[in-house]
Structure 1
Amino acid sequence: MNHKEDLIAGRNAVIEALRAKKPIDKIFVLDGCQDGPIRTIVREAKKTDAILKFVDKERLNQLTNEHHQGVVAIVAAYEYGTIEDLFKRAEEKGEDPFFILLDGIEDPHNLGAIIRTANLAGAHGVIIPKHRAVGITPTVAKTSAGAINYTPVVKVTNIGKTMDELKERGMWFACADMDGEVIYRQNLTGSIGLVIGNEGSGVSRLVKEKCDFISSIPMKGDIDSLNASVAAGVLAFEVVRQRLGK
């Protein structure tokens, strides 16, 4: 993401960007710097979704050759949606809410492919965690084949907590897991959230415990798992099939 136009360098510029509520992904601050403007930036940043990173001067110099005064912000090229946006989309279409939640997808190609699948399967949006997962990068946007412009992506601090809030609004959850019941025997109609886990470790234990259905895809091959985005596709289109048959 190290394009010139994605960076804001310098104290005043970063303070202005924060006050203008620009969508900022990350703010790199010179470690140990404690003066007034820097303290203001740190305080303002904590009111936003921006991730604060305290780094050495060398890292800041790598980011930009502009005079950075100990602070560089990376502006999100993408405006994330809100949970309300997703419910509104479902309501406008007269459909039961259908969301796809990603528990730690790290590969931008997988995220892009899942957003593309979500769009084609009629999901009302994709929910991703803020930490330890990929956000919207140029690679994600490209892999989504334009779907990123139509299907909202919401970034949340905690997937488990978000699931609890969605449950209170009547949503059921199914997660993809090899130890589950065969997906084709499950009733996935109604207001549903599909949870897809990390490429290597799958769905985390805490998130799995919050799921109403543990869904497995029957496999006949010699290897033991599907790529995360393919699994998301199989599950999403089973939801589509069941909705059509209702």
Structure 2
Amino acid sequence: MFLYGYHPVREALRHRPHEVARVLVSAARAGHRREEIAEACRRHRVPFQVVPEKALAELAGPAHNGMAAEVRAAEVSPASTASQAGADPGLVVLLEDVQDPRNLGALLRVCEGAGAGRVLIRDRGSAPVSPTVAKTSAGATEWLEIERITNTANEIERLKEAGFWVYGTDPEGDPPWEVDLSGKVALCFGGEEKGLRARTRQLCDRMIGLPMRGQVGSLNIATSAAAVLYEAVRQRTSPQHK
């Protein structure tokens, strides 16, 4: 499998160089990023090849952005090997029916930035964690513990048994700054069109929403997730909540 784009290639070399079979760079690509990747390949003894632009496009697709890494893995970021320095095990994100790979990539980038300890993705109805997702996430998939799940209800029950409060998201929910997000919490985000499934909503302890004061009725899912997750970060790092 090929990962493409500067950020996914760089993070793969940082996180799991032993799984990178080779790195290919377009002959038309020059500059400090190419030199940085070449140096990382030398350091980790990963083959580094300069190839014609057309050859790279044939292997990695037209959106390669000048470089690609061939990795020996079936998944972009297997949960068994992913690790994130500073990840918060008490902050879990559950994603359901996010179908657009670019939305999923943007969401995962937010999750990694906010220090989510785990990301659970409902397998059926969701986009796979593909090279496109990895590229959109700017390499965040390399550092997240991502787990594909088959049954959202079962996972929510397990989270509750482990002491987590489970919060869903809905436009009519309570503002996140009015909800205590300082403990063990699981935040559930639904798909682009319909949001969370009805059964998932029923199982949530409370619904969280962002008040819309303008004329547009909603925010992009990654933007909404960023607002909610960083309110959780604010509460969890605030001295008064410690």
> Is 1:117–2:86 an aligned residue pair?
no
* Number of equivalent positions: 169
Give the whole-Å Cα distance in 1 for the aligned partners of 2:101 and 2:190.
14
- Contact 1:172/1:191 (<8 A) preserved: yes
- Contact 1:80/1:155 (<8 A) preserved: no
Give the whole-Å Cα distance in 2 for the aligned partners of 1:123 and 1:78.
18
For 1:124-163, what aligned pairs fall within 5 Å after superposition? 124-163=117-156
Give the whole-Å Cα distance in 1 for the aligned partners of 2:199 and 2:183.
24
- Per-residue Cα deviation, 1:17-73 (whole angstroms, up to 9, x for no partner): xxxxxxxxxxxxxxxxxxxxxxxxxxxxxxxxxxxxxxxxxxxxxxxxxxxxxxxxx
User: Counterpart amino acid of 2:78?
Assistant: Y
> Is 1:164–2:164 an aligned residue pair?
no
Q: Which has the higher contact order (CA 8 A, sep 6+)?
A: 2
User: Counterpart amino acid of 1:137?
Assistant: S
TM-score normalised by L of structure 1? 0.64
> Is 1:80–2:78 an aligned residue pair?
yes
Give the whole-Å Cα distance in 2 for the aligned partners of 1:95 and 1:145.
20
- Contact 1:173/1:195 (<8 A) preserved: yes
- Contact 1:96/1:190 (<8 A) preserved: no
Within the candidate set 98, 104, 107, 1:105 is matched to: 98
Distance 1:107 1:209, change over 3 A: same
> Is 1:217–2:215 an aligned residue pair?
no
Identity of aligned residues (%): 33
The root-mean-square deviation of aligned C-alpha atoms, in Å, is 2.3
- Contact 2:96/2:125 (<8 A) preserved: no
TM-score normalised by L of structure 2? 0.65
Find runs of 4+ consecutive structure 1 residues off by over 4 angstroms. 92-96
Quote the residue 1:240 is aligned against: 233
Distance 1:96 1:137, change over 3 A: closer
For 1:172-211, what aligned pairs fall within 5 Å after superposition? 172-211=165-204
Give the whole-Å Cα distance in 1 for the aligned partners of 2:190 and 2:87.
29
For 1:50-69, what aligned pairs fall within 5 Å after superposition? none
User: Counterpart amino acid of 1:178?
Assistant: P
Segments of structure 2 that go 5 or more residues without pairing to the other structure are 3-72
- Contact 1:121/1:237 (<8 A) preserved: yes
- Contact 1:176/1:203 (<8 A) preserved: yes
Give the whole-Å Cα distance in 1 for the aligned partners of 2:112 and 2:102.
16
Shift of residue 204 of structure 1? 0.8
